[in-house]
A and B are shown apart, each in its own frame.
Chain A
């Protein structure tokens, strides 16, 4: 058995081992990876950046811990950007484990907001983020399509009280906020089918600007909605989050994780190339043997 035959029959555990070594090595070694910003993410950043202080952004945290690596950095980057700009946020979670994710993100971002930070050359003073004033966390309700439709009538229909049990009517930021008409845009950060419902039942029926943050594998599936104008922009996977962080001038979890992802992808590409080289050489040898 020559080298190429061995390459064709390489035990998959070698692939796993090589990938582990590359992931651990790139994680342990600190270096910066250049991030190229795509227009799909640029429009999302520009849309949020152009909103006036006091405007309301609805961020739907529709993902479970499975998608944490890709989508949690998006939540952190977007929510911090919004709060630094003094926008107000309504959080919802239409996936079962979403409330825990949102709760964790709100706690972490609130902590980092306490410190002064420079964003793209602009100094933002640290401040306390207050529930009911700077944000309202609605929590989870089953049947996401119906919840999206009901919020279009009145947020109080599916959520009479927020996640912490406070009636919506008693929250200062919810005074005069009835439905999507009072919301500047909806940001859906999702790792599943809930995005379809936001497009069909939400944007389709109520016409609000919809910004998407999706896992890498889902991104290609939603390009038709970008082309039709139903979706303003799409952030795809960890790369999308890293692009947002780069534009915001606020390096975080995504830019940190990009060096691991980039080199892991390069390993996968390398294995694909090796597999094909082995395949072609073996096939040629097989044909030569058949001719003899």
Chain B
């Protein structure tokens, strides 16, 4: 029963979603919308699970002193500070004791984590966590320069939330991605060599497509480069991509049928 019930649910709902597509009736649409709502709710739970998982993995890494465990503190700091910024917002022009509040909350969390990962004396960490917690609660109660916004989106407009996103997250991620240019240049230099016929064709096609966009070469080659490049993109490239897309599509249908019919059971955690 423990295994058959999920299979039964998947069969019923899988079949329903297939047939619903072809039934434009009001009731069918209602059930479809209801199911979409359910899936979104499940997605929100997955988000909470993801946060818990990140916290657990980071704490375990610190506890067992795995390689680069120190960075887990940075991960946890980033996680909690952004949540805090997202739920608080400035009321006027002054921040008041806000930054001391943020520091005390972070120290509370830090001390709790320290107590969890420590194998010896936990008392001092817990006492300090309690002191910082009391301090943060007192600041939260008596400082009117800022306030909590748990159920509204005002926290998302918190200038600290935006500043951390605009000036920390964006530059970090952009930098990581821009490093690709250097690796591509190095890899192209080493790997793009006309070793045989197929490699030569690939090299030639790549050069034509890259040079087609070079405005300084268009007076030399005229329309030929553009026409050849367009032909490469619209004929061989499109044919190959279509074959891949159709192959993937058929694969998805086959996998969906296997899941609906209970042949593929990987989603239950067992093959």
Query: Which residues on A are within 8 Å of B, measured CB to CB?
Result: 10, 12, 15-16, 19-20, 23, 33-36, 64-69, 97, 99-101, 103-104, 141-143, 146-147, 149-150, 153-154, 157-158, 161, 163-165, 220-224, 227, 239, 262, 264-269, 271-272, 274-276, 279-280
Shortest CB-to-CB span from A74 to chain B, Å, is: 15
Which residues of B lie under 8 Å from residue A20 when comparing CB positions?
182
Chain A min CB distance to B204 (Å): 11
- Residues 133 to 187 of chain B near chain A (Cβ within 8 Å): 152-154, 156-157, 162, 165-166, 169-170, 172-174, 176-178, 181-182, 184-186
Q: Chain A residues with Cβ under 8 A from B245's Cβ?
A: 224
The majority secondary structure among interface residues of chain A is helix
Are A66 and B176 in touch, CB under 8 angstroms?
Answer: yes
Please report the C-alpha to C-alpha distance between residue A220 and residue B205 in the assembled complex, in whole angstroms. 13
Whether the Cβ atoms of A33 and B33 lie closer than 8 Å is: no
| Pairwise interchain contact A269-B210, C-beta atoms closer than 8 A | yes
Contacts of A104 in B (CB 8 A): 162, 165-166, 170
Instruction: Report the separation of the CA atoms of residues A18 and B77 in the bound assembly, to the nearest whole angstrom.
Output: 38
Given contacts A141-B40, A220-B241, contact A66 B186 (CB under 8 A): no
Contacts A146-B40, A224-B242 given; indicate if A19 touches B181 (C-beta within 8 A).
Answer: yes
Annotate B227-247 by CB proximity to A: 1 below 8 A, 0 otherwise. 000000110011001100100
A276 touches B194 (CB 8 A): yes
Is B238 touching A223 in the complex (CB atoms < 8 A)?
Answer: yes
A104, B46: Cα distance in complex, Å: 27
Contact of A272 among B29, B169, B207, B218 (CB under 8 A): B207
Whether A220 contacts B233 by the Cβ 8 Å rule is: yes
List chain B positions with a Cβ less than 8 A from chain A. 29, 32-33, 36-37, 39-40, 43-44, 46-47, 152-154, 156-157, 162, 165-166, 169-170, 172-174, 176-178, 181-182, 184-186, 188-190, 192-195, 203, 207, 210-211, 213-216, 218, 226, 233-234, 237-238, 241-242, 245
**Residues of A with C-beta under 8 A to B43:** 141-143, 146
Query: CB-CB < 8 A to A65: which residues of B?
Result: 169-170, 172-174
Further 8 A-B residue pairs, CB within 8 A, beyond A97-B173, A223-B238: A15-B189, A65-B173, A142-B40, A142-B43, A154-B33, A264-B181, A265-B210, A275-B190
Residues from chain B with a CB closer than 8 A to the CB of A103 are 156, 162
Q: Determine which of B44, B170, B192 lies in contact with A275 in the assembled complex, contact meaning CB atoms within 8 Å.
A: B192
Contact A19 B241 (CB under 8 A): no
Are B178 and A69 touching (Cβ within 8 A)? yes
Q: Which residue of chain B lies nearest to A237 when distances are taken between CB atoms in the complex?
A: B213
Contact A269 B211 (CB under 8 A): yes
Of B188, B195, B234, the residue contacting A227 (CB under 8 A) is: B234
Cross-chain contact B182 with A15 (CB below 8 angstroms): yes
**A66–B180 alpha-carbon span in the complex (Å):** 11
Q: How far does the Cβ of B44 sit from chain A's closest Cβ, in whole Å?
A: 7
- In the complex the two chains form, what is the Cα distance from A211 to B237 in whole Å? 20
Q: In this complex, what residue of B is CB-closest to A141?
A: B40
Smallest Cβ distance from A254 to chain B, in angstroms?
Answer: 13
Tell me if B185 and A15 are in contact (CB < 8 A): yes
A271's contact among B174, B178, B188, B195, by CB below 8 Å, is which? B188
Known contacts A97-B169, A275-B189; is-contact A69 B174 (Cβ 8 Å):
yes
**With the chains together, A33 CA to B172 CA distance in Å?**
28
Inside 8 A of A12's CB, which chain B residues have their CB?
A: 186, 189-190
State A208–B29 Cα separation when bound (angstroms).
20
Q: Which of A97, A142, A268, A272 has the most CB of B within 10 A?
A: A272
Instruction: Tell me whether B153 and A153 are in contact (CB under 8 A).
Output: no
**CB nearest to A280 among chain B residues:** B194
Cβ of A199 to closest chain B Cβ, rounded Å: 10
Shortest distance between the CB of B130 and any CB in chain A (Å): 35
What are some 30 contacts across the A-B interface (CB < 8 A)? A12-B186, A23-B181, A36-B226, A65-B170, A66-B174, A66-B177, A68-B170, A69-B174, A97-B165, A100-B165, A104-B165, A142-B44, A142-B46, A150-B40, A153-B33, A157-B36, A163-B153, A163-B156, A164-B153, A165-B152, A224-B238, A267-B185, A268-B184, A268-B188, A269-B211, A271-B188, A271-B189, A272-B188, A274-B189, A279-B195
- A228 to B174 CA separation, bound complex (whole angstroms): 34
Q: Are A223 and B234 in contact (CB under 8 A)?
A: yes
Q: Once bound together, how far apart are the Cα atoms of A143 and B88, in whole Å?
A: 27
Task: Enumerate chain B residues within 8 angstroms of A101, measured Cβ to Cβ.
Answer: 170
Residues of B within 8 Å of A66, CB to CB, are 173-174, 176-177
Q: Do A33 and B215 touch across chains, with their CB atoms under 8 A apart?
A: yes
Chain A residues near B165 (CB, 8 Å)?
97, 100, 104
Asked whether, in the complex, the Cβ of A150 is within 8 Å of the Cβ of B33, the reply is: yes
A142 CA to B48 CA, complexed, in Å: 12
State whether A16 touches B193 (Cβ < 8 A). Answer: no
| Residues of A contacting B190 in the complex (Cβ-Cβ under 8 angstroms) | 12, 275
